[in-house]
Amino acid sequence: MKTLRIYVTMIVLALTGVWMSSNAQVLRDATNDNTVGRISGNGVVRDNGFHSMGSFDADGTVRDASGAAVGKIVRLEIFDNGGNRLGYINTDGTVRDGNSNKLGHVNLNDGKVTDAEHHTLGYARGIRVDWIACYYFFNFFKQAK
């Protein structure tokens, strides 16, 4: 009976892993539609090598790769750690900075991300618009070179 319980536990864990990886949505750049990373359903941001670049917590906290809080999302508004509003997202997908200047747009239908001059930055279909904004416009996940 104990062996059966171990096998059932292993199967459940394996299925959970498959489900989590299948829920990851791909982030693409505008050049050749190359994959630049992934955001899983639970908010983990990964690069092409599947290394963690950061995460989004359920309470809106945005974390970098080391787990340090770098910002917060509150009702489509994005703040830094000092409480300064970096920007916000309108319900139509327009992304603006803290002074209401247009930074770009996220097409809510096809996931196309464009800058203020309508140049395509990339694609992020099936990902929360506030997570897309943090990735493409507010650079929370840019790795140090």
Residue at 113 is within a domain: yes
CB atoms inside a 10 Å sphere around CB 55: 20
Residue at 18 is within a domain: no
Number of domains observed in the structure of the chain: 1
CB atoms inside a 10 Å sphere around CB 93: 19
Residue at 143 is within a domain: no
* The token pair that represents 141 in the structure block: 């996940």
Residue whose C-alpha is closest to residue 13's, from 25, 2, 3, 5: 5
- Please list, residue by residue across 74-85, b when 16 or more beta carbons sit within 10 angstroms of its beta carbon and e when fewer do: eeeebbbeeeee
Tens of pLDDT, residue by residue, the chain (145 residues)? 656 566 556 565 554 444 434 467 888 888 777 888 899 988 999 988 889 999 999 999 999 999 999 999 999 999 999 999 999 999 999 999 999 999 999 998 888 999 999 999 999 988 899 999 999 898 877 754 3
Place of tokens 């997570």: 131
**Domain assignment of residue 52, given as a range:** 26-136
State the pLDDT at residue 118. 93
User: What is the greatest pairwise CA distance in the chain?
Assistant: 64
State the pLDDT at residue 142. 72
Residue at 8 is within a domain: no
Place of tokens 């916000």: 88
Residue whose C-alpha is closest to residue 78's, from 137, 17, 4: 137
Residue at 21 is within a domain: no
Residue at 74 is within a domain: yes
Residue at 9 is within a domain: no
Sequential DSSP letters for 82-116: TS-EEEEE-TTSEEEETTS-EEEEE-TTT-EEEET
128-143 tens-digit pLDDT: 999 999 998 988 777 5
Residue at 5 is within a domain: no
The pTM score is 0.76
State the pLDDT at residue 29. 83
